[in-house]
């Protein structure tokens, strides 16, 4: 067993910093986006943090040595960062075949390329093992884009300590599989009782033939560029948003608290699921919750998800602060914002009811590369659909 011990200068160790440390990407563009460069061997000098430069250099040298020759291909490597032990699988070195058309300009540039490169180079042992290749460092952004292209081939609650607002710090472990999976949530703790006996639980399957149809007030989004932080809470990637972002519906204004992701989608429409879903959690002055659900299907890369994945932490409970004003929620929303409306619950323990659900009918798109990067950390984090028990679902025309 080969062990590599690293000392990172700060918390918030992301896919991008790991990619740069391994020399997989040119760090020049990373500095432009506010990410500290960890290696400048293959690029012109970029700005660095005085505190982080020495640790970053050591990280780069050790990782390169391990991947290049210290650890046998396809053998398990123990990677210890700041005393936290993680097991990874190294992928055999090799040069990917880059088709000519892969060098074209793409919406997936910079950090997306870095994330994809390291995903193919170092795979967490707990996740499904995928074939991939280590990409040799290059100094040009065009080369980074080409290699990336070649490789493409919870709701909040007013209850204290709720999973979605409190960062999943509950003292009882729950999961999406096995003896602590959704079928057992209601028995894990008395406070989770509604997960088993609730009559207005989420998610649901929306059968359009059974919905109440008719005119309804449109969703009024008031979103603006905002600051945010990204946390890996062990069950999903959650983005806590600052500022006065809000949605107004049914005469009430709900302020955006956070948004997070599930794969596959938890909601279904006519028994059809989607690749992913984003849940935008809002709360009004009375503490009532409204969740805007944006379904995500494979297609073009999503600009907002591109930003979030760039700052995605690797380790549970690590938090990464994004540059001020980087989050623009309108980048996630589809142009057609008609929606389904029903009363439901949190989709994670304690499954609190009384949540207003607003499921946008038109899906937004997310690239296959973006889907793979999320599911590498969370292969399946979706609760099964729950019974309607006579609830009305309005199809807002």
Residue at 157 is within a domain: no
Number of domains in the chain: 2
What is the rounded average pLDDT of the residues 103-125?
37
If asked whether residues 144 and 188 sit together in one domain, one would say no
Residue at 42 is within a domain: yes
Range of weakest confidence among 66-75, 144-153, 363-372: 144-153
pLDDT for 140 beyond 50: no
pLDDT the model gives residue 317: 95
Domain of residue 274: give its range.
178-396
Residue at 115 is within a domain: yes
Residue at 223 is within a domain: yes
- Structural contact between residues 277 and 292, judged by C-beta atoms closer than 8 angstroms: no
pLDDT bracket for residue 314 (50, 70, 90): confident
pLDDT the model gives residue 214: 78
Q: What is the CATH number of the domain that holds 278?
A: 3.10.200.10
By C-alpha distance, which of 258, 257, 378 is closest to 313? 378
pLDDT for 356 beyond 80: yes
pLDDT bracket for residue 215 (50, 70, 90): confident
Query: Would you give the distance in Å from CA 25 to the centre of its chain?
Result: 21
Q: Is 389 a catalytic residue?
A: no
- Structural contact between residues 41 and 34, judged by C-beta atoms closer than 8 angstroms: no
Share of the chain above pLDDT 90, in %: 54
pLDDT the model gives residue 151: 35
Among residues 131, 150, 169, the one where a domain terminates is 150
pLDDT the model gives residue 212: 93
Range of weakest confidence among 124-138, 331-345, 363-377: 124-138
More confident residue, 319 or 74: 319
Query: Would you give the distance in Å from CA 144 to the centre of its chain?
Result: 22
What is the rounded average pLDDT of the residues 41-53?
37
pLDDT for 82 beyond 90: no
If asked whether residues 323 and 363 sit together in one domain, one would say yes
If asked whether residues 144 and 253 sit together in one domain, one would say no
If asked whether residues 186 and 279 sit together in one domain, one would say yes
By C-alpha distance, which of 247, 243, 241 is closest to 283? 247
Residue at 270 is within a domain: yes
pLDDT for 213 beyond 90: no
pLDDT the model gives residue 199: 98
Catalytic residue among 164, 168, 235, 306: 235
pLDDT tens digits along 57-79: 445 555 555 545 554 444 444 55
If asked whether residues 118 and 247 sit together in one domain, one would say no
By C-alpha distance, which of 251, 328, 244, 256 is closest to 290? 256
Residue at 165 is within a domain: no
pLDDT for 128 beyond 70: no
């Amino acid at each position: 067993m080969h062990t590599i011990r690293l000392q990172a200068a700060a918390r918030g160790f992301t896919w991008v910093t790991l990619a740069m440390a391994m020399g997989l990407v040119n760090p020049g563009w990373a500095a432009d986006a506010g990410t500290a460069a960890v290696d400048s061997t293959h690029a012109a000098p970029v700005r660095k943090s005085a505190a982080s430069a020495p640790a970053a250099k050591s990280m780069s040298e050790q990782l390169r040595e391990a991947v290049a020759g210290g650890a046998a291909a396809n053998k398990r490597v123990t990677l210890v960062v700041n005393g936290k032990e993680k097991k990874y699988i190294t992928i055999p070195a090799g040069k990917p075949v880059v088709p000519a058309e892969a060098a074209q300009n793409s919406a997936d540039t910079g950090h997306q390329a870095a994330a994809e490169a390291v995903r193919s180079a170092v795979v967490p042992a707990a996740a499904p093992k995928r074939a991939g290749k280590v990409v040799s460092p290059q100094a040009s952004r065009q080369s980074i884009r080409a290699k990336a292209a070649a490789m493409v081939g919870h709701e909040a609650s007013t209850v204290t300590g709720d999973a979605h607002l409190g960062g999943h710090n509950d003292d009882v472990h729950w999961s999406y599989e096995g003896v602590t999976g959704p079928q057992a949530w209601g028995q894990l703790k008395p406070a989770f009782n509604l997960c088993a006996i609730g009559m207005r639980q989420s998610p649901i399957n929306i059968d359009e033939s059974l919905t109440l149809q008719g005119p309804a007030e449109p969703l009024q989004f008031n979103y603006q560029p905002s600051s945010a932080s990204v946390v890996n809470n062990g069950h999903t990637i959650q983005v806590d948003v600052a500022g006065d972002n809000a949605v107004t519906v049914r005469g009430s204004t709900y302020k955006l608290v956070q948004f997070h992701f599930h794969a596959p989608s938890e909601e279904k429409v006519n028994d059809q699921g989607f690749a992913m879903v984003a849940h935008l959690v809002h709360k009004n002055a009375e503490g009532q919750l409204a969740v805007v659900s944006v379904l995500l299907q494979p297609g073009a890369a999503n600009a907002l998800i591109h930003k979030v994945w760039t700052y995605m932490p690797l380790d549970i409970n690590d938090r990464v602060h994004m540059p001020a004003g980087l989050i623009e929620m309108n980048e996630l929303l589809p142009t057609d914002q008609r929606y389904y409306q029903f009363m439901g619950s949190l989709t994670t323990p304690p499954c609190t009811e009384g949540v207003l659900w607003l499921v946008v009918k038109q899906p937004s798109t997310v690239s296959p590369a973006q889907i793979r990067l999320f599911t590498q950390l969370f292969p399946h984090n979706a609760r099964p659909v729950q019974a309607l028990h006579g609830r009305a679902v309005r199809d807002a025309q």
